[in-house]
């Protein structure tokens, strides 16, 4: 899994990642992962999904960090994305149960209906 954040549409962001991959640009952790591991990439609908809609401000960074930590804790975060083993907001959420503990979508259908 790769977690990113953008104020752009998913299609535009996907096209940027594809361009980074084609030009061997290491600016994108997603493109770097594809290049390094020789993965194929597909159309937007098969490769990207919106995890959370929020305003383009500090909340976007917080949500990205939260999802990155959740994926990291479950061993499914792409290795090119660096996350520490400790994330106080993630740990607080797990302890207080303020949000559902499982932020990880199990299937594409569940992911589309998930609300963290």
What pLDDT, on a 0 to 100 scale, did the predictor assign at position 97? 66
pLDDT digits (tens, 9 = 90+) for 52-68: 888 888 888 888 888 88
Domain containing 96 equals 10-113
pLDDT number for residue 115: 41
10 Å Cβ neighbour count for 60? Answer: 16
Backbone dihedral region for residue 24 (phi beyond 0: left; psi -120 to 50: alpha; all else: beta): left
2 within a domain of the structure (yes/no): no
Query: Stretch 24-28: mean pLDDT, rounded?
Result: 78
Residues 65, 1 contacting (CB under 8 angstroms): no
Higher pLDDT among residues 91 and 76, named by residue: 76
Asked, for residue 5, whether it belongs to a domain, the answer is no
Looking at every residue in the chain, the average pLDDT score rounds to 76
Q: What is the pLDDT of residue 36?
A: 80
**Res 63: pLDDT:** 85
Virtual CA dihedral for 29, 60, 95, 99, nearest 10 degrees? Answer: -120
Q: How many domains are there within the chain?
A: 1
- Please give the distance of CA 41 from its chain centroid, rounded to a whole number: 16
Per the domain annotation, does 1 fall within a domain?
Answer: no
């Amino acid at each position: 899994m790769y977690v990113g954040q953008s104020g752009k549409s998913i299609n535009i962001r996907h096209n940027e990642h594809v361009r980074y991959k084609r030009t061997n640009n290491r600016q994108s952790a997603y493109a770097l992962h594809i290049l390094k591991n020789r993965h194929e990439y597909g159309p937007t609908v098969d490769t990207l999904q919106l995890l959370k809609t929020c305003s383009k401000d500090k909340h976007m960074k917080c949500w990205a960090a939260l999802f990155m930590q959740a994926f990291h804790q479950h061993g499914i975060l792409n290795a090119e994305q660096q996350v520490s083993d400790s994330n106080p907001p993630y740990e607080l959420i797990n302890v207080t149960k303020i949000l559902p503990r499982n932020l990880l979508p199990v299937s594409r259908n569940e992911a589309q209906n998930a609300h963290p």
